[in-house]
Chain A
Amino acid sequence: MVKGLRLVMKNEPLILLEDIKKIYGSGPTQVNALSGVNLKIREGEFMAILGPSGSGKSTLMNIIGCLDRPSEGRYLLDNIDVSGMKDDDLASIRNKKIGFVFQMFNLLPKQSALGNVMIPLLYSGVDARERKERGLQILRKMGLEGRWHHRPNELSGGECQRVAIARALINRPSIVLADEPTGNLDTRTGEEIILLFKRLNKDEGVTLIMVTHNPEIANEASRRIYVKDGKIVEDTAP
């Protein structure tokens, strides 16, 4: 029974975007960041998003990550229409279902690695003891067990990004979104980070969506889409 249900759910896309448009501003300064995006992403996929700068990749990521709402179109996440949801409901979804990794790390400078990693748990009502336990556990998994008390300015770029990934993972999200996660890292560190992501996707079945400019990294993904002028111009999905 449970297995059957699971199968049915597997066949439904985890993410379904229908004719998504995003318009910034109005009048002569109006920008069509996205102009009609259709996209289905299944659970467990590792998808790379490629495209020139300003083509709308980040805008697309923000909408998928429920940080932003489309101007037009429908977005079903896990079969739930989130396109018209209220801010606080979107916040809950971000908290529980989605992990975000940014190019700029976006860590709080005055908090330790552990402090940063625990923040999402604060907003899901986990008590202080469990927060610390889980925070240390995930940092260990990221190979940062000895660095938990260090602040971001005492960590290398690669370590910072691993802290950010730990933060993205701590609430066990089903989707991890990474917007140019290696953009601020040297090649070797970048490769390590990509390896980490791949393991996550493979071993734990996390759905992974990553924006990258690096074709080599993109080749590691199971699927690639190309964005240009706010549209998907190529999709390697079968």
Chain B
Amino acid sequence: MNFIEFFRLALASILENRLRSFLTMLGIIIGVVSVILLISMTTGFREYLVRQFMGIGTNLIIINPGKTETKGLGQPGFEGVQKMTTGDTMALRRNAYALESVSSITVGTADVRYVDRERKVMVIGTDEAFVKVINIGVDAGAFFNADDVNASRRVCTIGYTVKNELFGSRNPLGEIIKIGGAGYRVIGIMEKKGTFIGTDDLDDVVYITVSASQRLFNTDKLFGLRAKARSAVMIEEAKEQIRIILTKRHNNKEDFTILTQESLLSSLNSILKALSVVLAGIAAISLLVGGIGIMNIMLVSVRERTREIGIRKAVGARRADILFQFLFESMLISLIGGIIGILIAFIGGIIISQFLPQVPPIMEPWVIALATIFSGSVGIFFGVYPAYKAAQQDPIQALRYE
């Protein structure tokens, strides 16, 4: 007998007991659907994160005060985190030639008021380099320039949400808004950015010059620096230059952390990888349960078909003929279940992306291939024992079986 004959035999038997075959498949179907959807959603989420992080800017380097990893002895806090200042920005601009631009950042919240409308808004203090470092453009008007920064002029640009909330359909350009009580002239409207990882509204922001913001919040500390390397290959070099220059300025202490988009992504990736391992575990368990279901039904089926086995053996079926007959059946049940599962998962993915258009599940080909191979293997693995039992039957005993 060749494989096509076994295949036909198995298919005929499955079609003969449609309902039972389907119920047997159910475990595999559910397993495959959940596994594919979970993996596809993780993949979709990872792609979304990559898009979000890469969307901030290109060759971006983030410098924040404080060291995230603790090294050495001594009391933390006392020697303390040295603050970061605009002096650091100047030093990097002068000396770190691997950097294209460097920008200071302060972050705070303040009440922003226009005539009789007031709103609590995130206020970012920065300089003219900001729009070179961060991937953001100006919709109308202009971002403040070096002169505005140096003279700490009371000018601002506003995000989309702020514009809508305070001005509605009116043109804000040239209008004066009050930020923390002081008046600022609106000189630009930033382009719409949406949300970042679904939380912060990146358009509910007002940008003012860094000097104005330090006056507003009464501090000379910066939230951090944002820099842009000249090219992707210069990122490492740039990080090293930043490290050397800032360490020297901070009394030879490395009291800051340098991050890149890649380093942020790779730590996120490792979290997602851990998640994938958990998902793989769920996959294994659900397929195991499905496989046990198949084994169970196949054992019943072998028992029910004892006479058939006896008849087949009596007319010349060898052990292998019986073994493969049953093995093909369990494999095919599992494989069909897997394919149905893939189809359902595909439809499910389309439905989910209707509800989560920003994070659509991504079904990669290898997942489909893996699901197919896995479901087939489960059928073989859990079909071996019942098939072996069938093949072992003594023809006479089997013929006598009632």
Closest chain B CB from A114 CB (angstroms): 14
| Contacting pair B399 A102 (CB below 8 A) | yes
**Docked-complex contact A122 and B399, CB < 8 angstroms:** no
- Whether B311 and A94, one on each chain, are in contact in the complex, defined by CB atoms closer than 8 angstroms, is no
A106 touches B311 (CB 8 A): yes
Q: Does B317 contact A (CB under 8 A)?
A: yes
**Majority SS at the chain B contact face:** helix
Interface residues of A in 100-125 (CB under 8 A from B): 100, 102, 106-108, 110, 119-120, 122-125
Q: How far is the CA of A54 from the CA of B317 in the complex (A)?
A: 28
Flag whether A95 is at the interface (Cβ < 8 A): yes
Q: Report B154-192 residues with CB < 8 Å from chain A CB.
A: none
Interface size on A, residues (CB 8 A): 25
B6's nearest neighbour on chain A, judged by CB, is: A122
Of B5, B307, B312, B314, most buried by chain A (CB within 10 Å of CB) is B314
In the complex, the answer to whether A106 meets B313 with C-beta atoms within 8 Å is no
Q: Which residue of B lies closest to A168 (CB)?
A: B315
- Which residue of chain A has the shortest Cβ distance to B399 in the bound complex? A106
Report if A62 contacts B (CB, 8 A). Answer: yes
CB of B72 within 8 Å of the partner chain:
no
Classify chain B's interface size: 20 to 34
Contacts of B319 in A (CB 8 A): 87-88, 91
Q: Is the CB of A67 within 8 A of B314?
A: yes
- Verify if B16 is at the interface (C-beta below 8 Å from A): yes
Q: B302-325 CB contact bits vs A (8 Å, 1 = yes)?
A: 000001101111111111110000
Q: A122-B1, A125-B1 are in contact. Are A91 and B16 (CB under 8 A)?
A: no
- A68 contacts partner chain B, Cβ-Cβ < 8 Å: yes
In the complex, what residues of A have CB within 8 A of residue B310's CB?
106
The answer to the question of A167 belonging to the interface, with a C-beta cut-off of 8 Å to chain B, is yes
| Nearest chain B CB to A175 CB, angstrom units | 14
Please, how many angstroms separate the alpha-carbon atoms of A226 and B314 in the complex?
25
Please report B residues at the A interface, Cβ cutoff 8 Å.
Answer: 1, 5, 16, 307-308, 310-321, 395-396, 399
- Of the A-B pairs whose beta carbons lie under 8 Å apart in the complex, a sample of 5, sorted by A's number, is A96-B316, A100-B314, A106-B307, A106-B314, A122-B1
